[in-house]
Amino acid sequence: MCAIEAGKRDKKVLVFDHSDKVGEKILLSGGGCCNFTNLHLNSSQYLSQNNHFCISALKRFNQYDILSMIQKHGISYHERELGRLFTNRSSQDIVNMLLKECRENNVTIIRECGTLTVKKSDLFLVRSKNRPFSSESLVIATGGMSFQEKEALGFGYNIAREFGINVTNLHPGLVPLTYSAEDLKVFKELAGIFVDSTVTCNMMSFRENILFTHRGLSGPAILQISSYWKGGDIININLAPDLDLFELLKQRKHENPKTVIKTILCELLPKRLIEALCKTPCENKPVCNVTDRELKDIAHLFNNWEIQPNGTEGYRTAEVTAGGVDTKELSSKTLESRKIKGLYFIGEVVDVTGHLGGYNLQWAWSSGYCAGQFV
């Protein structure tokens, strides 16, 4: 996106790509259908040490701007839950659109560029496979630590540090959480179960599915909360978010007193989950033989299930890297380094991390567009 915008200004633009395929992370996005933006775009869906930093770029190139570009290229798309927009056919359509725009604006792309070295004298000097290039401007758009080949791991952060630019604490974002050893024994057999839930941690809540896996918890709601979770934190999960389970059990006690507690619960949630969470003898009793205090305790297990994850699955399965090049080091208008003239950082390598649902690709489009007006 940055190269396209610079090309429109008649700049001579060269893009280095470590891979033999351009836009590999785009191809993986949205299960191969590319969740390219979100209709509900707002700066509140982004995490950063400076939550105001992203506002300027998002205003100057927003969800409707990328949508206009996609419509211009005749790419069909559809809306899913929570305003998420996906291509109808394939993520390749988005990559093809960007490559076509690059060609039309005389952008040169070097694939499989190998290990790059970067230095600066009067100009930036970039060496690729022993071939030198020089330029007045250098844009780092190398993404984070997730989905990276070993040779490219952390490249953008290393460049920042080499130029004396601060990088904030890095950690996996939008990532599955893992069980403690004790919880693993109890819950690993639940692998494959999906439950619509509200997940809460550190005063943030998300309502979507959670997924039980062989290693821990995943699914959209868990991925969302993982960006706010810190080691040692307990997360609260409401497995029946549309119900006050205590009130329901009391109602059934009045209307159907002979019904067994477990039977009532199995109407609401998978049997395996109930058996794993509810270890009280009360579950096999008729509801009329269970005190209100006991009913309240049972309801609490499902409306307020608390679990302390052991950790995350790490960058191997993380959607993004949280943290990055410190926004204090960059202009929010141009994305240029405040220390090094002509050096720009855009996209995921910056300390701006979006929620799940097209927000991180939108940040890529927006930050790339803005830097492209100034490089």
pLDDT at position 150 is 56
Which part of the chain has CATH 2.40.30.10? 176-313
Displacement of CA 78 from its chain's centroid (Å):
20
Report the C-alpha gap between 193 and 163 in whole angstroms. Answer: 48
What string of DSSP letters covers 21-77?
STTHHHHHGGGGT-EEEETT--GGGEE-SSTTTTHHHHHHS-HHHHHHHHHHTT--E
CA distance 301 to 294: 11
- 3-state percent breakdown (helix, strand, coil) of the chain, nearest 5: 40, 25, 40
Q: Are 98 and 23 in contact (CB under 8 A)?
A: yes
Q: What pLDDT was estimated at residue 250?
A: 95
Q: CATH 3.50.50.60 region(s) of the chain?
A: 2-172+320-372
The residue written with tokens 């959209």 in the block is 220
pLDDT at 114: 87
Which DSSP symbol is given to 260? B
**With contact defined as beta carbons under 8 Å apart, do 14 and 110 qualify?**
yes
Tokens for 362? 């939108």
The Cα–Cα gap between 14 and 254 comes to 74
Provide the residue-wise pLDDT of the chain in tens; the chain has 375 residues: 999 999 999 999 999 998 899 998 899 899 999 999 999 999 999 999 999 999 999 999 999 999 999 999 999 999 999 999 999 999 999 999 999 999 999 999 999 998 899 999 999 999 998 799 999 999 999 999 887 665 567 999 999 999 999 999 999 999 999 999 999 999 999 999 999 999 999 999 999 999 999 999 999 999 999 999 999 999 999 999 999 999 999 999 999 999 999 999 999 999 999 999 988 778 889 999 999 999 999 999 999 999 999 999 999 999 999 999 999 999 999 999 999 999 999 999 999 999 999 999 999 999 999 999 999
Q: Which residues pair with 128 in a beta bridge?
A: 116, 131
Reported as type and span, the H/E element at residue 372 is: helix 359-372
CA 79, 80, 85, 91 torsion-angle sign? negative
Token pair recorded at residue 110? 């070097």
Contact 87, 98 (CB under 8 A): no
pLDDT at 40: 98
Q: How many residues does the chain have?
A: 375
Q: Which of 268, 263, 269 is nearest to 286 (CA)?
A: 263
Q: Reply yes or no on domain 2-172+320-372 having CATH 3.40.50.300.
A: no
Give pLDDT, residue 27: 93
Res 153: pLDDT: 77
Q: CB-based contacts of 72: which residues, under 8 Å, 6+ apart? A: none
Instruction: Say if CB 7 and CB 15 are below 8 A apart.
Output: no
End-to-end CA distance of the chain: 12
Q: CA 361, CA 120: separation in Å to the nearest integer?
A: 30
Class of the 176-313 domain? mainly beta
The whole model's pTM is what?
A: 0.94
State residue 202 phi and psi, 5-degree precision.
Answer: 50, 45
